[in-house]
Copies of this chain bind each other. A is one copy, B any other.
């Protein structure tokens, strides 16, 4: 997280105005750092800024907003689960395609040059 990003997060209300040293420089407390860690974790898993803003807003309103905050997090967790699934599918597909490329390469090595004919048409087989 760059300094610029921290300023940006402060500007858009993701973090409350943070404490300052006598010279005006920002001093991030442990609590600030922990909150930033959390934000970072949410961003890294594609939570939109708007949603993080909503969460930050609720958090500032205290325990009464617990239920809504929980729902927000549950929604995001569901998003995460969906993302994991898509990623795992793609991972498996790539394993397949990579193996395929190894076969092609072996064939080329065996022929001593690049054969003209045998394009192993992979898309129809692996897109499924």
- A77-B98, A123-B35 as given contacts; A87 in contact with B89, CB under 8 Å: no
Query: Is A64 engaged at the interface, CB distance under 8 Å to the other chain?
Result: yes
Query: Is A21 engaged at the interface, CB distance under 8 Å to the other chain?
Result: no
A38 touches B123 (CB 8 A): yes
A69 touches B101 (CB 8 A): yes
B30 touches A104 (CB 8 A): no
Sample 13 A-B pairs with CB under 8 A, ordered by A number: A35-B123, A37-B127, A38-B93, A62-B114, A62-B119, A63-B118, A66-B101, A66-B105, A67-B101, A69-B101, A70-B102, A77-B91, A77-B95
Give chain A's interface residues, CB within 8 Å of chain B.
Answer: 30-31, 34-35, 37-38, 41-42, 44-45, 62-64, 66-67, 69-70, 73-74, 76-77, 80-81, 83-84, 86-91, 93-95, 97-98, 101-102, 104-105, 108, 114-115, 118-121, 123-124, 126-127
